[in-house]
């Protein structure tokens, strides 16, 4: 009987810490609490000097994040249903668990003074930015975007490979025809990347006719390569919206 109550309690905890289902106001309240904690924990990053109040908020948000991490680890078997006991070994190595752990690490400098030396590197302060990614699990929009990236990963990898190859070829060509303007091959790669994305900082640029011709060709083709990921993601995003709103999709397909 005791085990039954424990399992029911763990199951309810799992339901609370996961994204809120419609009508479950307690789970929604937990999501809002976590999002608020994430935002509050990031506020000190906007200040060079941290007032004592920020240290208090750091303590509070760190405790909230630690409790959330422990609860998720304790209910990992519900998340990875087919893994059984191995779920508890698998969870710490999942992507979101790693992000959660890295977002907790800045609190170590608060708990123990021996970790203060790491603040010289500003490492833990920078790690607080990772708390932004914690908000992804509480948003349905981020979930849709994640599904879009997963479903279109092969196409995006192909486009990324094409872009990298194009950058390297453009860099080699311009570095060969105009070595005076580019001190190293890395400078040429930097120029090719800037040209591909049509940013054009203007800090490094060719001055010969051949070099400028290469730049024009690179920029024109760069526009097409940069536009490909946008089209792929947009198409997959529309498909995901159709899956999540089947009623709207059926209405649009019905004859008028």
Give the pLDDT confidence score for residue 110 in this predicted structure.
52
Task: Tell me if 42 sits within 8 A of 34, measured CB to CB.
Answer: no
Whether 153-253 and 2-138 are alike in CATH topology: the answer is no
Helix (H) or strand (E) holding 248: helix 246-253
Q: Which regions of the chain are under pLDDT 50?
A: 113-124, 248-250, 252, 256
Task: Tell me if 240 sits within 8 A of 232, measured CB to CB.
Answer: no
The domain made up of 153-253 has a fold known as Helix Hairpins (1.10.287)
pLDDT tens track for 76-105: 888 887 767 888 888 899 888 887 887 777
Could you give the angle at the alpha carbon of 37 between the alpha carbons of 35 and 42, nearest 5°? 100
Give the pLDDT confidence score for residue 117 in this predicted structure.
46
Give the pLDDT confidence score for residue 22 in this predicted structure.
67
Other beta carbons within 10 angstroms of residue 44's beta carbon come to: 19
How far is 125 from 48, CA to CA, in rounded Å?
11
> Full-prediction pTM beyond 0.75?
no
Give the pLDDT confidence score for residue 25 in this predicted structure.
82
Give the pLDDT confidence score for residue 252 in this predicted structure.
47
CB environment 85-121: b (16+ within 10 A), e (fewer)? eebeeebeeeeebebbebbbbbbebeeeeeeeeeeee
In the chain, what are the domain boundaries? 2-138, 153-253
Backbone phi and psi for residue 201, each to the nearest 5 degrees, phi listed first: -65, -35
Give the pLDDT confidence score for residue 233 in this predicted structure.
81
Give the pLDDT confidence score for residue 134 in this predicted structure.
66
Give the pLDDT confidence score for residue 224 in this predicted structure.
79
DSSP sequence for 61-94: HHHHHHHHHHHHHHTHHHHSGGGGGGHHHHGGGS
Give the pLDDT confidence score for residue 84 in this predicted structure.
77
How far is 35 from 25, CA to CA, in rounded Å?
15
Give the pLDDT confidence score for residue 247 in this predicted structure.
55
Cα-to-chain-centroid distance, residue 186: 27
pLDDT tens track for 129-155: 566 666 666 666 667 777 787 888 888
As assigned by CATH, the class of the 2-138 domain is mainly alpha
How far is 148 from 145, CA to CA, in rounded Å?
5
How far is 229 from 167, CA to CA, in rounded Å?
16
């Amino acid at each position: 009987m005791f085990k039954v109550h424990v399992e029911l309690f763990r199951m309810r905890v799992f339901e609370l810490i996961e994204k809120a289902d419609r009508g479950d106001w307690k789970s929604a309240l937990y999501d809002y609490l976590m999002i608020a904690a994430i935002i509050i924990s990031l506020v000190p990053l906007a200040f060079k000097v941290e007032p004592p109040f920020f240290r208090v908020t750091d303590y509070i948000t760190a405790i909230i994040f630690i409790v959330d991490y422990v609860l998720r680890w304790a209910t990992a078997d519900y998340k990875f249903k087919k893994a059984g006991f191995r779920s508890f070994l698998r969870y710490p190595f999942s992507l979101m668990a790693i992000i959660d752990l890295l977002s907790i690490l800045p609190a170590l400098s608060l708990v123990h003074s021996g970790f203060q030396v790491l603040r010289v590197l500003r490492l833990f302060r920078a790690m607080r930015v990772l708390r932004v990614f914690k908000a992804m699990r509480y948003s349905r929009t981020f979930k849709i975007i994640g599904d879009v990236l997963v479903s279109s990963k092969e196409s995006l990898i192909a486009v990324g490979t094409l872009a990298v190859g194009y950058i390297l070829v453009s860099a080699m060509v311009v570095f060969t025809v105009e070595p005076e303007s580019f001190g190293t091959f890395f400078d040429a790669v930097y120029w090719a990347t800037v040209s591909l994305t049509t940013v054009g900082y203007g800090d490094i640029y060719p001055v010969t006719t051949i070099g400028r011709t290469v730049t024009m060709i690179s920029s024109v083709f760069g526009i097409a390569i940069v536009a490909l990921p946008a089209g792929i993601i947009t198409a997959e995003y529309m498909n995901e919206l159709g899956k999540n709103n089947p009623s709207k999709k059926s209405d649009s397909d019905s004859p008028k």
